[in-house]
Amino acid sequence: MSSVDIEAIKNQLGLEINAVNSSQGLEELRIKYLGRKGLISQLTGMIPGLPQEERAAFGQKANALKNKTLSLIEEKQRSLGQVSAVEEFSGLDIGLPAIVQDLGRLHPLTQIIDEICAVFVRLGFSVVEGPEIETEYNNFTGLNIPLEHPSRDAFDTFYLKPSNNTNDQRPTTSDRLLLRSHTSPVQIRAMKSQKPPLAVVVPGRVYRPDAVDASHSFMFHQIEGFMVDKGIRFSDLKGVLEAFAKAVFGEDIKMRFRPHFFPFTEPSAEVDISCIICKGKGCSVCGRKGWLEVLGAGMIHPNVFKHVGYNAREYTGFAFGMGVERIAMLKYGINDIRLFFENDLRFLRQF
Ligand code: DAH
């Protein structure tokens, strides 16, 4: 055998390795070339019989062929391995577009609560939350709501059954627990735990035993706000609420304050914005009035300050409360409050 034969073996190897299409075929090929009695061992076995001057060159060529064979087999092994991984998932079409994972989103009420609170945070308010289970004291008495007030009636407030819990630390058994009917009790909590100056907004769930219809729900959301300091005036309330209305409903919105009564504010007002549908001309949404009621407000009643231990001669303050669902319904033209709570993705995906 000569160098020419080595070239021939190399060519043959190239052809055969190209034709291999299974691991088993590749293994047979490996044995044929690199096995103990394979073609390459036969070549090296011939070296001692060659003339002295040819041995070195022949040996080098045989060795080069051996290395070439090893690397070709390795390469083939890799490409066969990839194909078999794909074959394992039979029916897998790696050319298909990937399944797009639907991203979640915030509930429209959460979005509007965040938006409204952000407006007040920019004005220097801090955001505080309170518990949904409240005492009768915080929900009514502390807010100057008299015992005979209709909102205290069991038809208007969800009372909890008295507990048999002997760890109950509340001062009197007459201070029943209830599901808060508004966010105003957080005024009492915040003012009792902090000294003025105070500027706070309180978003949260409230509960009332109302029959559910297009505009009522037994659970809904409010945002309460209040500010207490020396020299706070009604004009401060007007300025703050105007900034809120413009930020949420647009720069050319108008506001008006109508005298009203709330036990916890004096004077009190109901606040309207110009109708965002008809711009004040009168339409079915505003009942031809041109105005939409959006919140209640007023100057904090001295009796409330007395309950929390503030000196009403030293401090004044304003408070306001709004229904979040109502604001969202007006802003987005939603005509049924139940849509917020039914978890219908066709509705929720629009926000
Ligand atoms: N708590 C009142 C309600 O639920 C709303 C309200 C009115 C809150 C006037 C206030 C306020 O803080 O000053 O109807």
Are residues 61 and 171 both part of a single domain? no
Is position 291 within any domain?
yes
Are residues 71 and 155 both part of a single domain? no
Are residues 181 and 248 both part of a single domain? yes
Q: How far is the CA of 198 from the centre of ligand 1 (A)?
A: 18
pLDDT band, residue 111 (cuts 50/70/90): very high
Residue 147: CA count within 13 A, CB half-sphere: 3
Are residues 141 and 231 both part of a single domain? yes
Distance in angstroms (rounded) separating the CA atoms of residues 125 and 67? 78
Q: How far is the CA of 174 from the centre of ligand 1 (A)?
A: 24
Is position 102 within any domain?
no
Are residues 139 and 257 both part of a single domain? yes
Is position 230 within any domain?
yes
Looking at the CA of residue 222, tell me the nearest atom of ligand 1: 4
What is the domain-level CATH number for residue 175?
Answer: 3.30.930.10
Q: How far is the CA of 320 from the centre of ligand 1 (A)?
A: 6
Domain that holds residue 115: 108-348
Distance in angstroms (rounded) separating the CA atoms of residues 62 and 45? 10
Average pLDDT estimate for 312-329:
97
Are the beta carbons of 254 and 290 closer than 8 angstroms?
no
Report CA dihedral (111, 117, 122, 125) to the nearest 10 degrees. -160
CB within 8 A of 73, min separation 6: which ones?
A: 17, 26, 29, 30, 34
Are residues 159 and 57 both part of a single domain? no
Are residues 248 and 163 both part of a single domain? yes
Mean pLDDT of the chain: 92
pLDDT of residue 285: 87
Are residues 225 and 320 both part of a single domain? yes
Residue 188: beta bridge partners? none
Residue having the nearest C-alpha atom to atom 12 of ligand 1: 320
Are the beta carbons of 205 and 185 closer than 8 angstroms?
no
Q: List, for residues 7-44, the tens digit of each pLDDT value.
A: 888 888 888 888 888 888 888 888 998 899 888 888 88
Total number of domains constituting the chain: 2
Distance in angstroms (rounded) separating the CA atoms of residues 67 and 40? 10
Q: How far is the CA of 296 from the centre of ligand 1 (A)?
A: 5
| Closest by Cα among 77, 65, 68, 58 to 20 | 77
Sign of CA pseudo-dihedral 51, 52, 54, 55: positive
* Ligand 1 pocket residue status of 262, Cβ below 6 Å: yes
User: Which two tokens mark 232?
Assistant: 């706070």
Which one-letter DSSP state was computed for residue 207? Answer: E
Distance in angstroms (rounded) separating the CA atoms of residues 213 and 218? 10
Single pTM value for the model: 0.72
Is position 254 within any domain?
yes
Q: List, for residues 122-171, the tens digit of each pLDDT value.
A: 999 999 999 999 999 999 999 999 999 999 998 999 999 876 666 666 55
Q: Which of 28, 58, 88 is the last residue of a domain?
A: 88
Ligand 1 pocket test, candidate residues 178, 262, 327, most atoms within 8 A of CB: 262
